[in-house]
Amino acid sequence: MTPFFLLLCTVILCTILYCFLFKKETNSTRPPPPGPRGWPILGNLPQLGTKPHQTLYNLSKIYGTLIYLQFGSVNVVLASSSNVASQFLKTHDANFSNRPPNSGAEHMAYNYQDMVFAPYGSRWRALRKMCNIHLFSAKALDDLRPIRQTEVMSMTQEVYLHGKKGAVVDVSQVINVYSLDALSRVLVGWKVFQEAKEAIELKAMVVELMQLAGVFNVGDFVKGLAWMDPQGVVRKMKKVHKRFDQFFDALMEARRTGKNKGEGRDLLSVLLNFQEDGADFEEGKLTDTNIKALMLNLFTAGTDTSSSTVEWALSELIRHPDILKQAQEELDSVVGRHHLVKEHDLANLPLFQAIIKEVFRLHPATPLSIPRVGENECEINGYRIPKNATLLVNLWAIGRDPTIWKDPMRFDPGRFFPAGPHAHADVKGNNFELIPFGGGRRICVGMRLGLRMVQIMTATLIHAFDWVLPDGQTHDKLDMEEAFGISLPRALPLAACPVPRLEPSAYEFA
């Protein structure tokens, strides 16, 4: 049998299955939401383009903020407004609490053994509870504050040395190295990399994983084509997973052999002690695979999303020097110019807080929510949402909804001022017009830590330094293109020259 004939038979079989499934799902008298017509077999997949969040946003202008799509044989519903998102993530949250099958969870996230893609149930709740107690509770965050502050001070010192030389700084690289150092001390008890080069290599692995996780893999939606891996995605996923698995094996071996004892307060110590004690975990004992899968979630999300948000914040402020100046004046007034800003200062900086909210509005860490799947049929806005439909929430589009945000494409922190139209909004999942961390029971578990890291790193970088673009580039010409993945970093890393602006004594610390 020739490869061409085999492919032809596969396409014919997929067509039959597609028609059968589509017919089966349209027996209800209530119509599905409106949406664009798709291609045979592939449905709407070819229409997504290289920046699906923008493509889907443009479709919402045509078909409305609740859209029905067909990705291969999979029914997909897209929410692009706060009203529709709240119905899915609040009213019908329990129904949409699970994840659909996908190759990323299978081949990179230890076959759903992690927390992000784990089925909603007792094991997921146990993992989340463990993280909340030891990492993300108010007490844990306060206990771990000295670690964050030390790494921020180290970052400031490095940038200061570059600034004194008049050198250009790769802002993305600096932020990543020190956010990784802070995170690794919290997760495993020591700085996993002693040289910046090694941290940069891990960052490259994280970026690759996040980009692969954001790919709409044809094999996930047209099962008859999965064996072909037509985009080469699964092959790349297995390769990057192997590198991460070796990395986590080495960390666990170093701890077990005593090569690195850590600082005694880290999550890895807690997990290994729990395992060694033989304590019962949900659905059995805690395995090495469980531990590595959880570490994968925390390392990737913690190093990619927070650092990208800080880089976007600094980019927006460089593009808007008047707002940057106002933020610096506020910091000088509250903190002074003789020492660096501290976490306890942040609550007293209303303009700065508004800036961070505006950055989250325009640059959510995940442009499209991690997909969910509906276990049962339901009704939204009079439309039938079929059983097993995959849900996508376009967070990027919600932040640009002109019915909610006046002049939505404009960077305007004033909208969040106490007297502004959105003074009540927060980013913690309570106001669905601003949900950069998602909403409902599967809201990002690391939200509180991520928010603190974004705030203290951004505040420090604009308090301690002025920023000048290199090679005579003007602020209005700064490239703001995005690179789509499961996260949304800048397409081009931000490069700028730091100019120290505080008293010299502010940069003096051990």
Q: Could you count the other beta carbons within 10 Å of the beta carbon of residue 372?
A: 26
Pick the closest to residue 135 from 252, 260, 305, 265 (CA basis): 265
Burial class (CB in 10 A: 0-12, 13-18, 19+), 40: exposed
Torsion from C-alpha of 229, 57, 454, 246, nearest 10 degrees? 0
Beta bridge partners of 466: 499
Indicate the annotated binding residues: 444
**Dist. CA 44–CA 130, nearest whole Å:** 40
| Distance in Å from the first CA to the final CA of the chain | 72
DSSP letter at 87 equals: I
DSSP characters over 397-428 = HHTT-TTTSSSTTS--GGGGSTTSTTTT--SS
Do β-strands 495-500 and 169-170 pair in parallel, antiparallel, or remain unpaired? antiparallel
The strand order across the sheet containing 372-373 reads: 66-71, 74-79, 390-393, 372-373
Query: How big is the chain by its Cα radius of gyration, in Å?
Result: 24
Indicate the annotated binding residues for heme: 444
**Dist. CA 220–CA 231, nearest whole Å:** 11
Q: Which amino acid, one-letter code, is at 38?
A: G
**Dist. CA 455–CA 341, nearest whole Å:** 10
